[in-house]
Amino acid sequence: MKVLGVNAVFHDPAAALVIDGVTVAAAEEERFSRRKHGKSPVPFSTWELPEQAMAWCLSHAGIAPADLDAVAYSYDPELAPQPDGDITASEWEGLRTLYARRAPLFLQTVLPGLDPDRVRWVPHHVAHAASATFPSGFDPCAVLVLDGRGERASHLAGRFEDGRFTPLAAQVLPHSLGLLYEELTAHLGFRRSSDEYKVMAMASYGRPAFLAELRDLVRTDGAGGFSVAPVDLAAFAPALAPDAEFTARHADLACSVQRRLEEVLLDLALWLHASTGLRDLVMAGGVALNCVANSRIWAEGPFERVWVQPASGDSGTALGAALHVAAELGDAVGPMPTAALGRGWDDDALAARLARAGIPFEAPADLPGAVAEVLASDGVVAWFQGRSEFGPRALGHRSLLADPRRAENLEKLNDIKGREQFRPVAPMVLAERAAEVFCDGPIPSPFMLFTHRVRPGWAERIPAVVHVDGTARIQTVDRREEPLVAAMLEAFAARTGVPVVVNTSLNTAGRPMVDDPRDALECFGSAPVDALAIGRFLVRRPAAAAPVADAGAMTATESIGTPGRREPRGAEAA
């Protein structure tokens, strides 16, 4: 069966193609449109479809819309609030439902030849659940989905066995842990539905000073659900304007909400374990991108194994919806060994792109060694290899790499990316040496969804990747799955004795992750990156001319990791 999954309703529009139970392609629209998160999550944008991502998935597989057995749409308008009265006036929710209901016709318009009767609705949280159950390879397993909202709920818990999902609990709106975290994100001057991970980073600078109050406001109900009373965030700390400096109170508020979130998730996990008696847990939904909370569930929760979908945000519902429908149609759906499900180019195509750009490049016999040499000489390398990642994490396919031994590389990378200096960058580490450097987290951890503590003796050796709380969000690299990345790490370890390299996503300020070679060349041309490793080629930056004084120069005088520090004046918000 050929099933195209589509996420279009809220944010992070995406498409995924599953053929005979195998995920052959998955991509987010932002990587094509270059518009971060694809679109605004407002009701009147619901008609917008991930047109380029859908078209690419089909062309990648060499099939036409008429060949599709089903299109799985990750939202069921019949479960949502129904249009009532003048939906263009004050209450716009009905507009979302109306547009979602019309999706088959919209899809037919952009996918000529598609039979609109082949479109199937998949409830939003069922799609999230399927994005974790089938890909995990765990069967049976318990399932926990938490996000801002779906049709009428913000949470779904259940059991998965023999390829079938059975719901056990769902929390209806307005109670939503995801929306509370989004409110806090906006309150702290960040972008809602986008910058929640900045709040998580800020929380590390605070104390849980308001935890007692939050325990009163946010409660579990003992039946697998929870309640969130209206929270007056301003009573704890005043709202921050974008780019304003945060105070200790703001960090304390971030810390308190983060801690309460962790406690509630642990409670929900305990209930789910007691209800199912199962050994393994899988998670998805935007809240499952909170790697600090995931780590507490792993360390303190009742489950033996915890698997989190790397595309846990709404883009992952395109994949989940497709997998769910493929299983319904009778296909045996297999696990997901990699997140590298996006576009890729072969070396001939890359060489042609480089030649067309008129850029000198070399083809080193030992590319991993040449890259390790640049890194060990304190260079920053843009690393563009294989197919792009599905989901928000760079996992060694579209990455910026640097030497973790130099603390100043944190500031350097945050400046390249126009990010706040309080935000950490993450390490990738050879899987077989991960336990030597990191502890208190699952190993292997190939998708960067958990935090680990950096072992004593190593923190001072790799200061660029150690967050203020002594943790790091690691990616373990297995040479069987990622031979080229592993070879680069080995070459770096051979030169430095350190099996760890800084890995952050390949993008500049406010831009989606680089996806195609032109994006890579634009990024390389516009940012102080020393080399671009693209396919088997290496592009080196010519010896720099004298730097031009500009606003960015002020960053050199500021210290790393100072609470309250934002990006330099003139830089775009990340």
How are strands ordered across the β-sheet holding 305-308?
164-172, 153-161, 141-146, 280-284, 305-308
| Distinct helix (H) and strand (E) counts, the chain | 17, 22
CA distances, 453 to each of 160, 235, 563 (Å) = 32, 33, 21
Task: Tell me how far, at minimum, the Cβ of 273 lies from Fe ion, in Å.
Answer: 23
Determine phi and psi for 556, rounding to 5 degrees: -65, -25
| C-beta separation of 345 from 517 below 8 A | yes
Nearest-angstrom CA–CA distance, 436 and 206: 29
Judged by beta carbon, residue 283 or residue 428, the one nearer Fe ion is 283
Task: Tell me how far, at minimum, the Cβ of 12 lies from Fe ion, in Å.
Answer: 9
Number of residues counted as binding Fe ion (CB under 5 A): 2
Q: From the candidates 11, 125, 155, 452, give the one annotated as an active-site residue.
A: 11
Judged by beta carbon, residue 124 or residue 419, the one nearer Fe ion is 124
Judged by beta carbon, residue 51 or residue 314, the one nearer Fe ion is 314
Binders of Fe ion in range 138-177 (CB under 5 A): 147
Does residue 140 have a cis bond before it (omega within 30 degrees)? yes
Binders of Fe ion in range 534-573 (CB under 5 A): none
Q: Among residues 29, 76, 183, 314, which is the contact residue for Fe ion, using CB under 5 A? A: 314
Task: Tell me how far, at minimum, the Cβ of 121 lies from Fe ion, in Å.
Answer: 15
CB atoms < 10 A from the CB of 483, how many? 12
Return the half-sphere exposure (C-beta side, CA atoms, 13 A cut-off) of residue 97: 16
Determine phi and psi for 136, rounding to 5 degrees: -65, -30
Judged by beta carbon, residue 310 or residue 396, the one nearer Fe ion is 310
Task: Tell me how far, at minimum, the Cβ of 193 lies from Fe ion, in Å.
Answer: 10
Judged by beta carbon, residue 147 or residue 263, the one nearer Fe ion is 147
Active site residue 11: yes
Longest C-alpha distance within the chain, in Å?
Answer: 69
Binding mask 259-298 for Fe ion (x = CB under 5 A): ----------------------------------------
Binding mask 419-458 for Fe ion (x = CB under 5 A): ----------------------------------------
Judged by beta carbon, residue 146 or residue 428, the one nearer Fe ion is 146
Task: Tell me how far, at minimum, the Cβ of 150 lies from Fe ion, in Å.
Answer: 6
Nearest-angstrom CA–CA distance, 420 and 565: 7
Please give the residue whose beta carbon sits closest to Fe ion in the complex: 147
196 in contact with Fe ion (CB under 5 A): no
| Helix 103-110, helix 51-61: angle, nearest 10 | 60
Per DSSP bridges, beta strands 471-472 and 452-454 are antiparallel
Task: Tell me how far, at minimum, the Cβ of 29 lies from Fe ion, in Å.
Answer: 16
Determine phi and psi for 428, rounding to 5 degrees: -105, 145
Which tokens is 508 given? 């500049």
Q: Which residues are catalytic?
A: 11
Binding stretches for Fe ion (CB under 5 A) = 147, 314
